[in-house]
Amino acid sequence: MSARRTERLLNLVICLLASRSFLTAERIRETVPGYDETPSDEAFKRAFERDKEDLRDLGIPLETGTNSAFDDEPGYRIARGDYALPPLTFEPDEAAAVGLAARMWTTAAMGAAATRALRKLEAAGAEMVALPEGLQPRVEATGVAFPALAAAVHEGRVVTFDYRTGASTGEPARRTVEPWGLVVRRGRWYLVGHDRDRADTRVFRLSRVAGTPRAVGPAGAVTRPAGLDLSGAVASYDAQTPSATAVLRVRTGRGLGLRRLATDASAGDSVPGGGGWDRIRIPYGDAERLADAILPYGADVVIEEPSDAVAVVVARLRALAEVGA
């Protein structure tokens, strides 16, 4: 919806809320800013009919009636009692759940909106739970990719984006996708949809989307298949069977999360090049996902093999260096 039309709808709501009597369509045309731009009576009628449907779709109680038995033309109004929300109250467990959900967002894209929502709830008297720093849950919304893809899912529009795969070059590949839904699993967001280029259902991790996704084509062109289990699709993707083995050098006493995945380990004394390091082997199924697991450990972990996984990690490090430069 365009900004101009949104402004016109808002003006229409304000006008109908302010009026205690029913306003005819002609009176609304004269009063509400935006309708004066319609070039003809027919164009106004079409615009007004669309706006009435939009208000009803939004759940706004639009009444139709007349002010007296002598009125021939019906009018419109919005009763304040029907439009206003009841006082907002939370039970302690409900307030805790809302507070925790809002604090899960950490990125600039969603964090500001979540903070504003919390402040409004607190101003209304709701008490939000506070956890110590470090114990608060977090959900990765991955910058510009999340709001753009969420909008595409909501509007039912095809979306294109560059996506990093496990290729040896680490270069993003262009994808054209019919987005069906966004799913969070273990603190990470995934897009489930139909990949038009590959003619199959695919799962995409948002942290691997390069740049800003772009919606193409008309709204309503994408429909989610009936009975589709989005969470099941992501779970199947996340449980991908390992198909390769990576060799890592891990600083002694560090990288405990990676060590738990290891199928083989060599103590520091047996690692060529000096003590203070161990060598481990971990199975993996996708080089990008392997890089996601390695990079948080920084200089405490060095990948040695295989070459395609090394290339992906190096490409990711270079990209991070360019951002910080």
Supply the pLDDT for residue 168: 41
Radius of gyration of the chain (CA): 27
pLDDT digits (tens, 9 = 90+) for 127-175: 666 555 544 555 555 557 888 898 999 999 999 999 976 544 457 889 9
Read off the tokens for 158.
Answer: 């095809």
Q: Where are the alpha helices (DSSP H) in 70-175?
A: 80-83, 92-103, 108-123, 145-155
Listed in order, the ranges of the chain carrying CATH 1.10.10 are 3-83
**pTM over 0.75, yes/no:** no
**Rounded CA gap, 288 and 166, in Å?**
5
Do residues 104 and 137 make contact, with C-beta atoms less than 8 angstroms apart? yes
Supply the pLDDT for residue 271: 53
**Rounded CA gap, 321 and 245, in Å?**
27
**In the predicted model, is pLDDT for residue 103 greater than 70?**
no
pLDDT digits (tens, 9 = 90+) for 201-247: 999 988 788 888 999 989 889 988 988 899 888 888 766 666 789 99
Read off the tokens for 141.
Answer: 């919304």
DSSP 8-class letter at 229: -
- Stated as kind and residue range, the H or E segment containing 290 is helix 287-294
Average pLDDT of the chain is 81
Say what the alpha-carbon torsion angle 96, 97, 102, 106 is, to the nearest 10 degrees: 100
What top-level class would CATH report for the domain 3-83?
mainly alpha
How many alpha carbons lie under 13 Å from residue 122 in its C-beta half-sphere?
A: 12
Listed in order, the ranges of the chain carrying CATH 2.30.30 are 145-238
Centroid of chain to Cα 312: 25
Residue that wins the pLDDT comparison between 98 and 59: 59
Do residues 163 and 173 make contact, with C-beta atoms less than 8 angstroms apart? yes
**Of the candidates 272, 268, 245, 248, the residue with the CA atom closest to the CA atom of residue 259:** 248
Supply the pLDDT for residue 269: 46
∠ at Cα 47 (42, 49), nearest 5°?
Answer: 95
Supply the pLDDT for residue 128: 64
Order of strands across the sheet that contains 158-164: 200-205, 188-195, 172-185, 158-164, 209-216
Supply the pLDDT for residue 115: 73
Strand 209-216 vs strand 264-266: parallel, antiparallel, or unpaired? Answer: unpaired
Pick the CATH number of 145-238 from 1.10.10, 2.40.10, 3.40.50, 2.30.30: 2.30.30
Centroid of chain to Cα 137: 17
Supply the pLDDT for residue 265: 74
**Rounded CA gap, 112 and 133, in Å?**
18
In the block, tokens 């009597």 appear at 21
**Of the candidates 66, 62, 67, the residue with the CA atom closest to the CA atom of residue 77:** 62
Q: Kindly state the percentage of the chain with pLDDT values over 70.
A: 80
Supply the pLDDT for residue 39: 84
Supply the pLDDT for residue 205: 86
Listed in order, the ranges of the chain carrying CATH 3.30.70 are 244-324
91 pLDDT band, cuts 50/70/90, is: confident
Per CATH, the architecture of 244-324 is what? 2-Layer Sandwich (3.30)
In the block, tokens 């209304």 appear at 124
Supply the pLDDT for residue 246: 92
Q: Kindly state the percentage of the chain with pLDDT values over 90.
A: 26
Supply the pLDDT for residue 287: 80
Do residues 12 and 32 make contact, with C-beta atoms less than 8 angstroms apart? yes
∠ at Cα 68 (66, 73), nearest 5°?
Answer: 40
**Rounded CA gap, 200 and 98, in Å?**
37
**Of the candidates 104, 100, 78, the residue with the CA atom closest to the CA atom of residue 90:** 100
Read off the tokens for 189.
Answer: 């967001």
